[in-house]
Structure 1
Amino acid sequence: MDMGRMDQLPVALRARGVFYGWVVVGIAMLATFASGPGQSYLFSVFIDPIIADTGMTRTGISSLYAAGTFVSAAMVFYISRLADRRGPRFTLTIIALGFGLACFGMAFASGWLLTALALASLRGLGQGALPINGTLLIAQWFVRRRGRAMAIAGLGGALSTATLPPVARLLIDEVGWRSSYLVFGLAIWLVLVPVAVFLVRNRPEDVGLHPDGANGPPADERPLTAGAPVERRVLSTRMFWLLAIPMSMPGLVDTALIFHQASIFAERGLGPTVAAAAFTPMALAAAASGFTGGFLVDRFGPRPLYIGALLVLLIPPVLVQFISTTPMAFVYGLTIGVGSGMSMMVSRIT
């Protein structure tokens, strides 16, 4: 591939009236979609096959997964600072290479230690690093239209939630859970790595453009980088923790319910196929609420949307007690999707 010609692509598209920022949005959407192997909705399909193959207990796997989630939280800080120093293009390339390797590691993991390392890598790079890198990339390319750009990119997560669990279920039935991870890792290397190398541009200013495709820098543009002293000041403020605690609640609720979805449905007499299929209405609802929420945030601000998300997420923990049929399982998935879609949209822009 001619790198010189690829470097001129943003300018060539501008000459045709196309802002390259929307290509960047597509890349962020792809990154969010590809994060599936590190997300709870996909790993939940693998839990029972892993238990059957390795003899690990559900409690043991849950503990390892929780530890990996803490690693994911720590990775967000590290990746943000790395992207500040080296740019999203370099960072996304390294993340994609490492994430594919983590999938291979999970395929060959044996014993508690190697499984823990593989899970920590999957969570840290998939659940944490990939989505945040896409968010940082969009933040460089959009200011006034940031909400709608985030909403469009968020469709990648919804599409991933809708399609990857059934695909994983089919792969597991055909080739086993270990080979399924090999397939996912290879797909990441073949698709995401070339996109990161050849198509990502760190900032519009690097290619003679401005955020939102405007003719000049926006009046309300603010620096998007932050050094360690600023981070320390933010972490020491009371307001940060007053916001951090409620902002973390939707993720805690979603992760707990989604992680154990297959086992919960099994206790209710519903098989693994239904458990995987329930992610489809969940994803559709998340896509609709997140996409709509992006425009609502631009108009009304994040507070009313987030309050609505918290109210909706009060429903699934109650509804899960009464699931007994496939339609009820789909309604349950819809409620999680609506609440998580709205809350994720707010978290991306605050």
Structure 2
Amino acid sequence: MSKITSFSNWPFHPGKSPFFYGWAIIVLGTLGITMSIPGQTMGVSTFTDSLIEALGMSRSELSFAYMCGTITSASFLTWVGAQYDKYGVRPIAILASVGMGITLLFLSQTDHIQGFLPDFLVGPVGNFLIMYIGFAALRFTGQGALTLVSRNMMMKWFEKRRGFAMGFSNVVTSLTFSSAPVLFEMLILDFGWKDAWLILAAVGGLGFPLIILFFFRDNPEKSGLKPDGDYQVKKNSKVNKFPVVKSYTLKDAMGNFAFWVFAMMLAMQAFYWTGFTFNVVSIFETGNYLRSTAISIFLPSSIIAVIVTLSVSSLSDHIKLKYLLYIMGIGSMTAVLGMILLNEWPWMLYVLIGGNGIMLGLYGVILSVTWPRFYGTQHLGAISGRAITFVVLGSSIGPIIFSESLSWTGSYDMAGWLCFVLFLFLTVAAYWANNPQEKYRKV
């Protein structure tokens, strides 16, 4: 048992909870991921058109600033994972949450900040610098650090029932992420885009850090508990069909083929999804659809995502994860085809919604279960941090590729076919993406 420090159990001891505190961790970690939405492309996309109008930037210019800022944020995420392994969840999550609040405050004043720039920076260069700084900080704190440590905290409190437990988190995450554009759109309509960001800054930067301080906890061992709670004691150990025999370092994990296939599939999902959501209004306008139709597709996609998540979360504790990768790849290709053919046949709208739902429903499950099952939890922060780095890099490139596709060809089809080919390649490669622990269990 790890040494129990006073801070690990402040202001109350999780072991004195009337129920296994891991279930509270699932709720809290899910809340942490939900609070990161303003820093996710899903959250930024609703403000895209307002920023373009306020700053006088083109869609491609804003997408380029978004790409550069996101790439910058991604370069620090492996380091964040290592700090999480060293210092634990609370200090990193608090800094990330406060940092995101400050960043949202900064972004809400972007049009006023222009007035403080020296004359030689007024114009496109100054606009780029403003949005680059804002996007880099927002993506680092929200999509990066806060999401990373919240998800890792949940994964460490469960082992044999990790898929089952994370299923609850993934369901809520699917609903909140898919519903966020509708909520943010309401805030913008009621208060304006600037005040909408100020409201989100107050909630995320002032209120949520207090929840982190009082209720977030690191490994259950630091509180004298065990992963899964009493379940580990009462049930036969054979229930765990995928025991971890060897704990991998980041270097070891990156030398494994499965790491790259899973990480690249998740990165491709981010590439497509951010490119799609960042330009969703424009994508639908090219097909002669209304803005309201573009925003409305997220809710039905979230319902499908919830159904998929509920169906596969517990199942993931009992089957090889590469099977889920097959389904995710097929769902992603279906979504891309729906987007490409949206202008040809109106019923492709439902194909797009269904494919997005399948893809989103599997994303959270695969991201949550893969790394601790394949590589153990000793270096989970560094390994998951590197995987998230690729995800964030994918999300940085997607919007600019989609925007440039429109600029060069007058449609988003070129970007769509690129996504389709890459998803197809990774779906085939998944056949060889086996759990590296298997070869050690056979010895």
- TM-score class normalised by the smaller sequence: 0.7 to 0.9
Paired residue secondary structure (1:143): coil
Q: CA distance change for structure 1 residues 343 and 168 in 2, over 3 Å: closer, same or farther?
A: closer
Q: Which residue of 2 aligns with 1:71?
A: 72
1:11 to 8, 15, 20: 15
Contact 1:150 1:345 survives alignment (8 Å): yes
Cα distance in structure 2, aligned partners of 1:339 and 1:75: 27
Q: Cα–Cα, structure 1 residues 345 and 237, in superposed 2: closer, same or farther, change >3 Å? A: closer
In structure 2, relative to structure 1, the CA distance for the partners of 1:4 and 1:289 (3 Å cut) is closer
Answer yes or no: is 1:86 the counterpart of 2:106. Answer: no
- Of 275-284 and 66-75, more deviation after overlay is shown by 66-75
1:104-183 equivalent positions in 2, closer than 5 A? 104-109=105-110, 110=114, 111-183=127-199
**What CA deviation, in whole Å up to 9, does each residue of 1:119-172 have, x standing for no partner?**
111112211222211221012211111112222112332232233211211222
Corresponding residue number in structure 2 for 1:257: 276
TM-score by length of 1: 0.88
Give, in angstroms, the shift of residue 286 of structure 1. 1.9
Q: How far 1:55 sits from its partner (Å)?
A: 0.7
Q: What is the rounded CA distance, in whole Å, between the counterparts of 2:185 and 2:50 in structure 1?
A: 10
The residue that corresponds to 2:25 in the other structure is 24
User: SS of the residue aligned with 1:212?
Assistant: coil
Cα distance, 1:174–1:343 mapped onto 2, change above 3 Å? closer
Structure 2 CA distance for partners of 1:197 and 1:131, relative to 1, 3 Å: same
Aligned partners of 2:50, 2:350: CA distance in 1, in Å? 23
Aligned residue number for residue 289 of structure 1: 308
User: Which deviates the most, 76-85 or 162-171?
Assistant: 162-171
Secondary structure of the residue aligned to 1:300 is coil
Q: Could you say which residue in structure 1 is the equivalent of 2:285?
A: 266
Alpha-carbon distance in structure 2 between the residues aligned to 1:4 and 1:209: 12
TM-score, normalization: structure 2? 0.70
Moved more, 333-342 or 52-61: 333-342
Over 3 Å counting, the alpha-carbon distance change for 1:75 and 1:341 in structure 2 is farther
From 295, 298, 318, the counterpart of 1:276:
295
- Give the deviation of 1:82 after TM superposition: 1.1
**Which residue of structure 2 aligns with residue 58 of structure 1?**
59
Give 1:347's aligned residue. Answer: 367
CA–CA distance in 2 between the matches of 1:4 and 1:183?
A: 31
Partner residue, 2:320: 301
RMSD between aligned alpha carbons?
A: 2.8
Compute the displacement of 1:204 (Å).
1.3
Aligned equivalents of 2:210 and 2:144: distance in 1? 21
Deviation at 1:240, TM superposition (A): 3.9
The gaps in structure 2 that reach 5 residues or longer are: 1-6, 115-126, 371-443
Higher relative contact order (CA 8 A, sep 6+): 2
Aligned residues: 342
Would the aligned equivalents of 1:107 and 1:179 in 2 still touch at CA under 8 Å? yes
Give structure 1 stretches of 5+ with no counterpart.
none
Q: Structure 1: which amino acid aligns with 2:162?
A: R
* 2:34 is the alignment partner of 1:33: yes
Name the CA distance, whole Å, in 1 between partners of 2:167 and 2:192.
Answer: 35
Residue 333 of structure 2 contacts residue 355 of structure 2 at CA under 8 Å; is this kept in 1?
A: no
Quote the offset at 1:78 in angstroms: 2.0
> CA 1:82/1:115 → structure 2, altered by over 3 Å: closer, same or farther?
same
State the AA in 1 paired with 2:46.
V
Relative distance call for 1:285 and 1:69 in structure 2 (3 A) is: farther
Structure 2 counterpart of 1:12, one-letter code: K
Q: Deviations over 1:209-248 (max 9, x none)?
A: 111113778977769997xxx3234335555445433442
Q: Does 1:334 align with 2:351?
A: no
* Larger-gyration structure (1/2): 2
- Matches of 2:174 and 2:251, distance apart in 1: 34
1:140/1:224 contact within 8 Å kept = no
**Matches of 2:271 and 2:286 in 1, distance apart?**
22
Q: Find the aligned partners of 2:202 and 2:295 in 1 and give their Cα distance.
A: 23
Contact 2:9–2:223, Cα closer than 8 Å, also in 1: no
Q: Which amino acid aligns with 1:47?
A: T
Displacement after TM superposition at 1:266 (Å): 1.6
Per the TM alignment, residue 333 of structure 1 is displaced from its structure 2 partner at its CA by: 2.4
Structure 1 residues 321 and 153, CA gap change in structure 2 (3 angstroms): same
